[in-house]
């Protein structure tokens, strides 16, 4: 049986960040538990030699006993659970605030030593977007139960399996235009998912990271228009970049919200009205540089996975 220092429970570990993180955890010899609602989906990892150290566990996230069981005996808990669009069954309030509070409470009661919680750049209690407000409230709800939790706010993430760049690359294949919501002026500071994973290991290793907030972005700031142009350059596609006024984007989003997986929601339109960049750090907060890390440029990674 693995010693508890080597046991990590990763909630939300079946997603985009989860795949990159679990690959690294397994390679570094950790025993990884991944509670999930859909264990049948499996994981797409390149760790056949180490696969025994990674275990997907069927878990109903509303069942306290199941959550406790998946945390019991672990020394590290990492919460990657998050949604970009809320549903009736899974509101942002539930997923981003109540669920992290429950995980932090159980982790503290079970004697977990390190709790890492993924929030998002733009988390703000006064944001017009519910996503950003609930991400900020979730940070507080985690701290209430696990005061020295480490909270990370990454910017837009890129890497194989990302939903942003892969989606626009796919759209560029089949559509005559790419939409520039609100004119495409919103600024982003994209971060490589591999750098986020490196940052997670860095904060776990540093005692001075405990109880702190880290705002994590890449080196370069791009407008939405520049990101769309980059997608076209990398994939060798040419299509029209079509400005879509905010009001029209909201009307279209209202229609898309009827779809099972909406490509755009009204809340996302609200988020796009605010630049998604690191900016000035809140008091006591850190960034990639304060962890001694240098971001990987977007241009170095995008061509390695975007389909042409």
Ligand X SMILES: NC(=O)c1ccc[n+]([C@@H]2O[C@H](COP(=O)([O-])OP(=O)(O)OC[C@H]3O[C@@H](n4cnc5c(N)ncnc54)[C@H](OP(=O)(O)O)[C@@H]3O)[C@@H](O)[C@H]2O)c1
Residues that bind ligand X (CB under 6 A): 12, 14-18, 36-38, 61, 80-83, 90, 95, 118, 120, 154, 156-157
- Rounded Cα–Cα distance for residues 256 and 168 (Å): 16
240 within 8 A of 176, measured Cβ to Cβ = yes
Q: How far is the CB of 278 from ligand X (least distance, A)?
A: 12
Q: How far is the CB of 3 from ligand X (least distance, A)?
A: 27
Q: Which residue is nearest to ligand X (CB)?
A: 15
- Rounded Cα–Cα distance for residues 123 and 101 (Å): 16
Q: Which is nearer to ligand X, 1 or 16 (CB)?
A: 16
Q: Which is nearer to ligand X, 154 or 218 (CB)?
A: 154
Q: Which is nearer to ligand X, 122 or 182 (CB)?
A: 122
9 φ/ψ angles, rounded to the nearest 5 degrees = -105, 125
* DSSP string of 90-151, one letter each residue: S-HIIIIIIHHHHHHHHHHHTT-SEEEEE--TT--TT-SSHHHHHHHHHHHHHHHH-TT-EE
Closest CA to 157 of 126, 115, 199: 199
Q: Which is nearer to ligand X, 120 or 277 (CB)?
A: 120
Q: Which is nearer to ligand X, 47 or 66 (CB)?
A: 66
Q: How far is the CB of 238 from ligand X (least distance, A)?
A: 26
SS3 193: helix
Q: How far is the CB of 94 from ligand X (least distance, A)?
A: 7
Q: How far is the CB of 217 from ligand X (least distance, A)?
A: 10
């Amino acid at each position: 049986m693995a010693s508890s220092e080597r046991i990590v429970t990763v909630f939300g570990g079946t997603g985009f960040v989860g795949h990159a993180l679990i690959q690294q955890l397994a390679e570094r010899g950790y025993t990884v538990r991944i509670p999930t609602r859909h264990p049948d989906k499996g994981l797409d990892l390149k760790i056949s030699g180490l696969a025994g150290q990674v275990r997907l566990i069927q878990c109903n996230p509303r069942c306290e006993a199941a959550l406790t069981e998946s945390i019991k005996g672990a020394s590290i808990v990492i919460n990657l659970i998050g949604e970009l669009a809320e549903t009736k069954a899974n509101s942002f309030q539930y997923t981003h605030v109540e669920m992290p509070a429950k995980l932090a409470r159980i982790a503290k009661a079970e004697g977990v030593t390190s709790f890492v919680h993924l929030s998002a750049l733009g988390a703000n209690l006064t944001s017009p977007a519910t996503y950003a407000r609930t991400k900020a409230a979730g940070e507080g709800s985690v701290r209430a139960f696990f005061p020295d939790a480490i909270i990370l706010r990454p910017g837009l993430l890129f890497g194989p399996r990302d939903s942003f760049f892969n989606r626009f690359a796919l759209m560029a294949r089949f559509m005559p235009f790419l939409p520039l919501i609100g004119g495409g002026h919103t600024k982003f500071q994209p971060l490589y998912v591999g750098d986020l994973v490196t940052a997670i290991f860095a904060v776990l290793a540093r005692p001075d990271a405990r109880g702190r907030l880290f705002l994590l972005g890449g080196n370069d700031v791009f407008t939405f228009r520049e990101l769309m142009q980059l997608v076209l350059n990398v994939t060798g596609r040419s299509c029209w970049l079509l400005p879509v006024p905010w009001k029209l984007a909201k009307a279209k989003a209202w229609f898309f919200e009827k779809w099972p997986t909406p490509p755009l929601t009204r809340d996302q339109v609200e988020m796009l009205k605010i630049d998604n960049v690191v900016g000035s750090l809140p008091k006591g907060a850190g960034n990639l540089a304060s962890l001694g890390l240098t971001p990987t440029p977007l241009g170095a990674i995008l061509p390695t996975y975007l389909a042409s």
